[in-house]
């Protein structure tokens, strides 16, 4: 409880430092500069992710305090000890991902993140949750092996893994393309992007509400940021039309596939899990829109690149806070009713109005309704797609919003309907936990106040697309 606000204060201080300097900050561990030493670097993207992580983990910690606390005079249980230890481990792993300046340090950070996240899935020790955790672990280890193989190829070809040094050395040659393909495939498996998403729904189905919030809001974003670092920072010039459009195509399929499956779910947690697969798809529009391939370049393309960059990062942040709020709301509803079957939600809106209201606010962001952060993010991506002449991504964004409205209203309709009898709550739900969920949902709403233009903070250290340099 002391570490949570302290971590948030440190993250805010780092953001202030980046804003004052208007240039990326870096620290050489042990005083040894790359390529011999390890560099920790903070640009605008890293700073935003540090604050988002500290905020969401702080809310998760407050939410979980009641469920994983040890009463005075009682012995600490295995689940309680494991949860708080793993929560700190995941936080450390995420911060290492945001700050890592070389590809091998990022590999170590990914492993720390994986081995902190996997046990959270099976804290209750049931057979089905152990099976889900094992599936998650196998996908994660496969992703790690592919990523590590790619880094080995790059090190063998160029003698360094430092991102800044590597960016000035790489050329479009076969070893680089093979390494990029291996690393991207491995990271996609960890991000749960279609079609390597099979581990995510079972993992969420049995995980505690706090664990599901952590996985969906933050853990899958760590590997996504590594894909961004790989293509934008470490391998500039390789993100041409083919790889950018291919990544976005996978994202588009994920939006449609995840949304359709979310509409078909009978359980609330599974519905939110499949919506995570859909919402992750929007993030991959960053690749064709923020780094316009030469065939789509125009005189104003660089301006739209900045809009898309801000919109993509805002989508990441808005999804993190909204999805954490929705999973925690689902946990409270499950505790009150003893189940999370959507068909049995009649009257729960009257019994837990604050919780259902928070769920609805989070759903607004997923749908992209104003004035939520999801609306601003999707509006930026949509206008960038139209401005760059890549209108087909705009069609997918609009279709995804309609599908999201469908599965959110599938929950709200029975929850707000009248019940034949008053809802009998199996367990009381404290107002403090409901307030935490509502506060996160309001944060998702307040993100809608972000102006519809490139963020000056996110411009700090933002890589300039090669298509723009060519012009």
> What is the reported pTM?
0.90
Residue 456: what pLDDT? 85
Residue 46: what pLDDT? 92
Q: What is the pLDDT of residues 336-355, one digit of tens each?
A: 888 888 888 887 888 888 99
Q: Which are the contacts of 100, defined by CB distance < 8 A and separation ≥ 6?
A: 40, 106, 109
CB atoms < 10 A from the CB of 159, how many? Answer: 11
Note whether 142 and 257 are same-domain residues: no
Confidence of residue 152 (pLDDT cuts 50, 70, 90): very high
Q: What is the pLDDT of residues 180-237, one digit of tens each?
A: 999 999 999 999 898 888 888 888 777 888 888 898 889 999 999 999 999 888 888 7
Residue 426: what pLDDT? 66
Residue 423: what pLDDT? 67
pLDDT above 80 (res 75): no
Phi-psi region of 125 (alpha: psi -120 to 50; beta: other; left: phi over 0): left
Is residue 163 domain-resident?
yes
pLDDT above 70 (res 156): yes
Note whether 108 and 173 are same-domain residues: yes
Note whether 326 and 288 are same-domain residues: yes
Is residue 57 domain-resident?
yes
Phi, psi of 452 (to 5 degrees): -85, 60
Is residue 244 domain-resident?
no
Residue 460: what pLDDT? 84
pLDDT above 50 (res 471): no
Note whether 230 and 353 are same-domain residues: no
Residue 302: what pLDDT? 54
Confidence of residue 244 (pLDDT cuts 50, 70, 90): confident
Last residue of a domain, one of 210, 238, 266: 238
The residue range of the domain holding 348 is: 253-471
Q: Residue 143 and residue 146: Cα distance in Å, rounded?
A: 5
Residue 467: what pLDDT? 43
Give the residue carrying structure tokens 């760590």. Answer: 222
Residue 233: what pLDDT? 87
Q: Are 109 and 38 contacting, i.e. CB atoms less than 8 angstroms apart?
A: no
Note whether 331 and 438 are same-domain residues: yes
Is residue 210 domain-resident?
yes
Average pLDDT, the chain: 86
Q: Residue 462 and residue 471: Cα distance in Å, rounded?
A: 18
Last residue of a domain, one of 208, 238, 268: 238
Is residue 248 domain-resident?
no
pLDDT above 50 (res 299): no
Q: Residue 415 and residue 417: Cα distance in Å, rounded?
A: 6
Note whether 309 and 188 are same-domain residues: no
Secondary structure (DSSP) of 368-415: T-TTSHHHHHHHHHHHHHHHTT-HHHHHHHHHHHHHHHHHHHHHHHHH
Above pLDDT 70, what percent of the chain? Answer: 93
Is residue 445 domain-resident?
yes
Q: Are 452 and 379 contacting, i.e. CB atoms less than 8 angstroms apart?
A: yes
Q: Residue 364 and residue 60: Cα distance in Å, rounded?
A: 21
**Structurally, how many domains does the chain consist of?**
2
Note whether 199 and 125 are same-domain residues: yes
Note whether 50 and 107 are same-domain residues: yes
Note whether 188 and 257 are same-domain residues: no
Confidence of residue 468 (pLDDT cuts 50, 70, 90): very low
Secondary structure (DSSP) of 275-293: HHHHHHHHHTTHHHHHS--
Note whether 397 and 469 are same-domain residues: yes
User: Which structure tokens are listed for 85?
Assistant: 């230890």
Q: Are 376 and 447 contacting, i.e. CB atoms less than 8 angstroms apart?
A: yes
Note whether 205 and 265 are same-domain residues: no
């Amino acid at each position: 409880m002391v570490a949570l606000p302290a971590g948030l204060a440190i993250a805010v201080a780092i953001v202030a430092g980046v804003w004052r300097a208007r240039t990326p900050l870096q620290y050489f561990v042990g005083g040894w500069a790359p390529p011999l030493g390890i560099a920790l670097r903070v640009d605008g993207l890293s700073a935003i992710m540090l604050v988002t992580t500290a905020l969401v983990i702080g809310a998760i910690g407050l939410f979980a305090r009641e469920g994983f606390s040890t009463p005075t005079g009682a012995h600490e249980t295995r689940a309680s000890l494991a949860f708080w230890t793993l929560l700190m481990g995941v936080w450390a792993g995420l911060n290492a991902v945001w700050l890592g300046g070389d590809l091998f340090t990022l590999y170590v950070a990914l492993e720390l993140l994986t081995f902190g996240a996997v046990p959270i899935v099976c804290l209750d020790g049931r057979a089905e949750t152990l099976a889900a955790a094992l599936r998650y672990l196998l996908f994660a280890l496969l992703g790690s092996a592919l990523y590590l193989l790619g880094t080995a190829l790059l090190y063998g070809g160029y003698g360094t893994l430092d991102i800044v040094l590597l960016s000035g050395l790489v050329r479009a040659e076969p070893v680089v393309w093979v390494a990029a393909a291996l690393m991207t495939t491995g990271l996609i498996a960890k991000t749960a992007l279609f079609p390597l998403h099979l581990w995510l729904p079972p993992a969420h189905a049995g995980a505690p509400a706090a664990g599901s919030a952590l996985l969906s809001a933050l853990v899958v974003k760590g590997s996504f940021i590594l894909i961004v670092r790989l293509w934008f920072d470490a391998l500039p010039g390789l993100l041409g039309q083919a790889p950018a459009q291919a990544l976005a195509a996978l994202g588009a399929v994920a939006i449609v596939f995840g949304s359709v499956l979310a509409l078909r779910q009978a359980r609330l947690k599974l519905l939110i899990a499949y919506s995570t697969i859909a919402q992750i798809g929007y993030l991959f529009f960053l690749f064709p829109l923020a780094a316009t391939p030469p065939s789509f370049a125009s005189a104003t393309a660089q301006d739209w690149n900045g809009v898309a960059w801000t919109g993509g990062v805002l989508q990441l942040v808005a999804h993190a806070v909204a999805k954490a709020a929705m999973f925690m709301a689902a946990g409270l509803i499950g505790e009150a009713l003893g189940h999370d079957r959507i068909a049995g939600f009649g009257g729960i809106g009257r019994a837990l109005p604050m919780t259902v209201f928070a769920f609805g606010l989070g759903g607004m962001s997923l749908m992209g309704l104003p004035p939520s952060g999801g609306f601003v993010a999707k509006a930026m991506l949509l206008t960038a797609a139209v401005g760059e002449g890549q209108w087909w991504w705009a069609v997918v964004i609009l279709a995804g919003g309609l599908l999201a409205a469908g599965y959110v209203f599938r929950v709200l309709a029975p929850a707000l309907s009248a019940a034949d009898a008053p809802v009998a709550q199996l367990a009381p739900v404290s107002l403090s936990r409901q307030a935490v969920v509502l506060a996160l949902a309001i944060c998702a709403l307040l993100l809608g106040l972000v102006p519809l233009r490139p963020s000056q903070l996110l411009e700090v250290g933002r890589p300039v697309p090669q298509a723009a340099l060519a012009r």
